Copies of this chain bind each other. A is one copy, B any other.
Amino acid sequence: MPDAKAKTAPTRAAYHHGDLRAQLISAVRSLVETHGPDGFSVAEAARRAGVSSAAPYKHFKDRAEILRGVCSEAMDRLRAEMEAGAGRYPEGSAEAVAAVGLAYVTFAKTEPGVFRLVFGLTEGHENAPDLQSKGEGCFGVVVGAVAAHQRLSPDDPQVLYRAYILWTFVHGHSFLTIDNKVSVASAQIDDWSYLLTVSRAILTQPSAGQPTSGAGIG
């Protein structure tokens, strides 16, 4: 076996544990999912990765930095799924816009703990420019889909405004769904038809939501 010491050997590497960083993030993700965003401990994550409780601090400065790592990884996945959703329908169609929203809601339903972590907590997110830019990237997917539908530039205020309304809407629906607040409305919502209906309404409303006297967009 000439490649016994392959530098990038992914699994069961040497003694120095392959790459702990990724394994820790994975462990924390699973912990956040099962025990909630707050019910996770660095010690338990280390235990699951089979290392001492001091090892994580060689890769992360902080408990908060681990969380930020999980957020970052999750936002990458979220964006990928939003883009995949849009790509499943003709560019510029209302379906493409709704599909972006469906990806968002589906992510929230699939990984509610991580979703809450990403959008609920603000522990150490202030000083995290990469998270900020990844958030903007996700929003950019919405903007892109809306711009394609309206045949306008992504910088157009109308596009940004409608995209924001859509985002607001999808975000709120996601939260209320995973909090089981939907049942409160005694409504059984089918996500796809719901999102499609609302997307169409927002996209086609005459000069939808154009706020009075330019107060809306600065």
Q: Is A60 an interface residue (CB 8 A)?
A: no
Residue-wise, chain A 182-218 has the 8 Å CB interface mask toward B (1 for contact) of 1011111110011001100100010011111001111
How many copies of this kind of chain does the complex include? Answer: 2
Q: What is the CA–CA distance of A127 and B212 in the complex, to the nearest angstrom?
A: 45
Given A172-B170, A187-B161, A211-B194: A181 in contact with B121 (beta carbons within 8 A): no
Q: Is A165 an interface residue (CB 8 A)?
A: yes
Q: Is A122 an interface residue (CB 8 A)?
A: yes
Q: How far is the CB of A178 from chain B (nearest CB, A)?
A: 8
Question: Chain A at the B interface: mostly helix, strand, loop or mixed?
Answer: helix
Q: Is A139 an interface residue (CB 8 A)?
A: yes
Asked if A184 contacts B121 (CB within 8 A), the reply is: no
Asked if B193 contacts A212 (CB within 8 A), the reply is: yes
Q: List 27 A-B contacts (CB under 8 A).
A: A36-B121, A36-B123, A38-B38, A116-B121, A119-B175, A132-B184, A135-B181, A135-B184, A164-B176, A164-B185, A164-B189, A167-B172, A167-B185, A168-B169, A169-B169, A171-B175, A172-B175, A187-B217, A190-B211, A193-B215, A194-B209, A194-B215, A197-B209, A197-B212, A197-B216, A198-B209, A201-B208
Kindly identify which residue among B119, B208, B216, B218 contacts A194, using a CB–CB cutoff of 8 Å. B216
Kindly identify which residue among B39, B175, B198, B208 contacts A165, using a CB–CB cutoff of 8 Å. B198
Q: How far is the CB of A139 from chain B (nearest CB, A)?
A: 5
Q: Is A3 an interface residue (CB 8 A)?
A: no
Asked if A201 contacts B205 (CB within 8 A), the reply is: yes
Q: Is A148 an interface residue (CB 8 A)?
A: no
Q: What is the CA–CA distance of A120 and B171 in the complex, to the nearest angstrom?
A: 12
Kindly identify which residue among B123, B172, B185, B211 contacts A38, using a CB–CB cutoff of 8 Å. B123
